[in-house]
Amino acid sequence: MRIYDISQEVFTCKVFPGDPAPKRKILASMDKGDLYNLTEFSMCAHNGTHIDAPKHFIKNGKAVDEIPLETLVGRCFVAEH
């Protein structure tokens, strides 16, 4: 089986209208004389490449951790829009 990585880069992918865009903030940088590099980031859980768990739309639906991984692997069609 050939595997295709269809992941989107988090900070450049489009977000759903109304969702906050991902943000990153450099808290410490060795290039600026700090002892270490430290980055903070925030994003909506509904961003980038993901699966919409049934619980997202259906009361008492399954959460992501309740969906068997085998459900997400198999034949597919990838279209570029």
For position 2, what pLDDT does the model report? 77
pLDDT in tens, the chain (81 residues): 777 787 888 888 888 889 999 999 999 999 999 999 999 999 987 787 778 889 988 999 999 899 998 888 888 787 777
Say what the pLDDT of residue 5 is: 81
Q: How buried is residue 53: exposed, middle or buried, by Cβ count under 10 Å (0-12/13-18/19+)?
A: middle
Write down the pLDDT at residue 13.
Answer: 86
The catalytic site residues sit at 56
Report d(CA 54, CA 31) in Å as an integer. 45
pTM of the predicted structure, to 2 decimals: 0.58
Q: Which class for 18: exposed (0-12), middle (13-18), buried (19 or more C-beta within 10 A)? A: exposed
Residue in this structure with the two tokens 């990153």, named with its chain if needed: 24
